[in-house]
Amino acid sequence: MTFPGHPSGRYSNGLVLTDFLARHFGAVGLSPIPFEQWRKVWRHPMLYFGSLLFGINFAHGGTGVFDTDVAAPNMTVQIDLFEQLVKKHYGDIGLENSIALVTSSGNDYSAYMARNNGTLDPKDVMHFIDEVTTQLAANLKRIQALGVKKILYNVGQMNDESTNNSTVVVLDLCNAFLDILQGKDYESRFPEGLKGC
């Protein structure tokens, strides 16, 4: 069965990280409304308030910290949209009790490789990694400056200055899954390796 059980325009026809987090916080079957959908309902009070109960999702599949091959807003532009929404409609109401989920899955690196035809100089790659992580750290600080006190991020690599903050928590799904897959009892726990759990 797909989620939510009918075509919805979502990036995935299965549950994604925001859905699992919403369930964790008691919102079974509900996830943050995509910002593009919110733009359509905000003038209708009943739809508007109900849609905000579990937040707003600014993410776009295939995007990155910087521009990628996907024609959608990068992370900085997504934060611009969030900032405009806060300033226009909310001020700082409720942000101190909010949680921001920030993810970066490697689309920047895929786009970088595509732009360079797969030919990579290790020094250039290391410089680009530093650019991505520096901008990501700036983005996290900017979200905090807007009033969000709790940030959960799921990324592969960050520079140290962005993680020395008690309000920013690293969600390391990569190593969690690697621990499962490389564990000594993997085959007994997952006898059919290519079948979904």
pLDDT, tens digit, 9 for 90 and up, residues 57-77:
888 888 999 999 999 999 999
Average pLDDT of the chain? Answer: 77
Residue 180: is its pLDDT beyond 90?
no
**How far is residue 39's CA from residue 78's CA, in Å, rounded to a whole number?**
14
Pure H helices in the chain: 17-24, 35-41, 45-52, 75-85, 107-115, 122-145, 173-182, 186-189
Structure tokens at 186: 């993997």
pTM (two decimals): 0.75
Mean pLDDT of 134-154: 89
Mean pLDDT of 170-184: 71
Residue 51: is its pLDDT beyond 60?
no
**How far is residue 80's CA from residue 176's CA, in Å, rounded to a whole number?**
32
Q: Residue for token digits 């007994």?
A: 188
pLDDT, tens digit, 9 for 90 and up, residues 78-121:
999 999 888 887 766 668 888 888 988 889 988 998 998 877 78
Higher pLDDT, 182 or 121: 121
pLDDT at 154: 78
- The residue ranges of every structural domain in the chain are 1-57, 60-189
Higher pLDDT, 29 or 97: 97
Mean pLDDT of 163-174: 64
Kindly indicate the confidence band of residue 1, based on its pLDDT and cuts at 50, 70 and 90. very low
